[in-house]
Structure 1
Amino acid sequence: MHTTLDAERVGPAYTEDGMLLARRKTREALAAIAARIRPGMLEEDAVAMAKQVLLDMGLALSWHPTRVRFGRNTLKPMKRASEPGVALQEHDIFFLDIAPRVQAWEGDGGATFTVGDSAQQADYARCARDVECLFHQVRAVWLRERLTGQALYAYAEQEARKLGWELNFDLGGHRVSDFPHATIYAGALADADFSPSPMRWILEIHLRHPTLPYGAFFEDMLLDDSYYV
């Protein structure tokens, strides 16, 4: 059984400034990739484009695959491959999940975006808003009450259901550190029986519609409010 100390160890290159640099570069890359995605693109082409954007920004393709998920593929757990040949429709939803490395430090980030202006797109937009809002709700509870990782995800599931969504527990958060974090601790945040420390963990929220083929994803490092102004 891992202790809190085991789970939150860092490697010799870890610095908070380095981790914040990786986070900033990751959020910049998400915006740059999303700005290049257009209806009609195949998901496979968007993934290739995303990888090139990361390389052009001087970022290393790091510890998990660069993912772009369009339409019905937004339902799938990250460890399952997308259905091939899915194109982004005129009114649609998509999300990004990237894990670039900046020098010795791991970045990891995800966000959801929509295109179009139909009634269906309004439902997609609500899903995209809700997933980011729920991320911040969970983060706020962590700040106020210092809940365990297990309790944070139990809270996230409860709040997701109130909003009409299902929470995907296959994405349960994870460590982040100087590369590679997996040699330090590979367990999920959702399994942690202690309150996670800041600048050590990625909080992942993946919402899925209970009956329709779409979902939304958001992830970022667990940090206090000052990093979100």
Structure 2
Amino acid sequence: MSTAVNDGAERVGPAFSVDGMLVARQKTRQAIRDIAAKVRPGMVEEQAVEMAKQVLVDSGMQLSWHPTRVRFGPNTIKPMKLASAPGVVLQENDLFFLDIAPRVEAWEGDAGQSFVVGHQPEYRRCADDAERLFHDVRDVWLRERLTGHDLYAFADRTAKSMGWELNFDLPGHRVSDFPHAAIYTGSLADLEAAPSELRWILEIHLRDPQHRFGAFYEDMLLSDDYYD
């Protein structure tokens, strides 16, 4: 077993619960669908962020351990640590993504997904490929038990073969009972061991090579049984 795991990369806190983590995931993924259904062309990104926060609160979740993000159009290429350009309006033919991390009681949820409005084939391909690459990486993890580092090397190669650039500013991270940052703050891309189920978030952020737009997808590393 790798030193990284022995050093506590996969430790959990006293409130950790498999059932609790799965409930948090289910509620978070439902919130993604609920928020996306309320996004409309003509909205300003800041309005959509406030709407997303309200959906989470109304669903009984707590705004938790990273900001609630809704990114429109040109802001979809930005690393998450950089603020969006203000005042971006969603167009009739456009792309947006959500990145939310609410807390459900003691447990962390984290999910992200991209959506296309109108008809723009490049945007649709990018959004679809972000989700497809997530599952391609997940399949390799299940079959070959690659290290976190090797999973992201595979993701990088595959993204390039699809015609996209993988943003390494989003290298995956731990998830657990709140707060995981008190347990471990290292990234999945730096893990020199095969990650376990229910411990890690795999993040995929694809960008157009000309940096005109991007797409994002993230979820917990889980087996096929948890996916439709």
Q: Which bracket does the TM-score occupy, shorter chain normalised?
A: over 0.9
CA distance in 2, matches of 1:135, 1:57: 27
Residues 44-63 of structure 1 mapped to structure 2, 5 A cutoff: 44-63=46-65
Indicate the residue corresponding to 2:74 in structure 1.
Answer: 72
Preserved contact between residue 77 and residue 211 of structure 2 (Cα < 8 Å): no
Deviations 1:74-103 (A, max 9, x none): 000000000000000000000000000000
Instruction: Tell me how far 1:113 sits from its aligned partner.
Output: 0.1
TM-score (norm 2): 0.98
Indicate the residue corresponding to 1:103 in structure 2.
Answer: 105
Amino acid at match of 2:15: A
SS in 2 for 1:172: coil
Indicate the residue corresponding to 2:208 in structure 1.
Answer: 209
SS in 2 for 1:190: helix
CA distance in 2, matches of 1:32, 1:13: 28
Amino acid at match of 1:61: L
Across the aligned residues of Structure 1 and Structure 2, the Cα RMSD in angstroms comes to 1.0
Indicate the residue corresponding to 1:152 in structure 2.
Answer: 151
State the identity %.
68
4+ runs deviating over 4 angstroms: none
Is the alpha carbon distance of 1:76 and 1:2 closer, same or farther for their aligned partners in structure 2, counting shifts above 3 Å? farther
SS in 1 for 2:98: strand
Please say if 1:9 is aligned against 2:11: yes
CA distance in 2, matches of 1:106, 1:212: 31
TM-score (norm 1): 0.97
Indicate the residue corresponding to 1:195 in structure 2.
Answer: 194
Structure 2 stretches lacking a partner, 5+ long: none
CA distance in 1, matches of 2:158, 2:74: 23
Indicate the residue corresponding to 2:83 in structure 1.
Answer: 81
Is the alpha carbon distance of 1:41 and 1:2 closer, same or farther for their aligned partners in structure 2, counting shifts above 3 Å? farther
Structure 1 stretches lacking a partner, 5+ long: none
Instruction: Tell me how far 1:166 sits from its aligned partner.
Output: 0.1
Q: Name the count of aligned residue pairs.
A: 226
Instruction: Tell me how far 1:194 sits from its aligned partner.
Output: 0.5
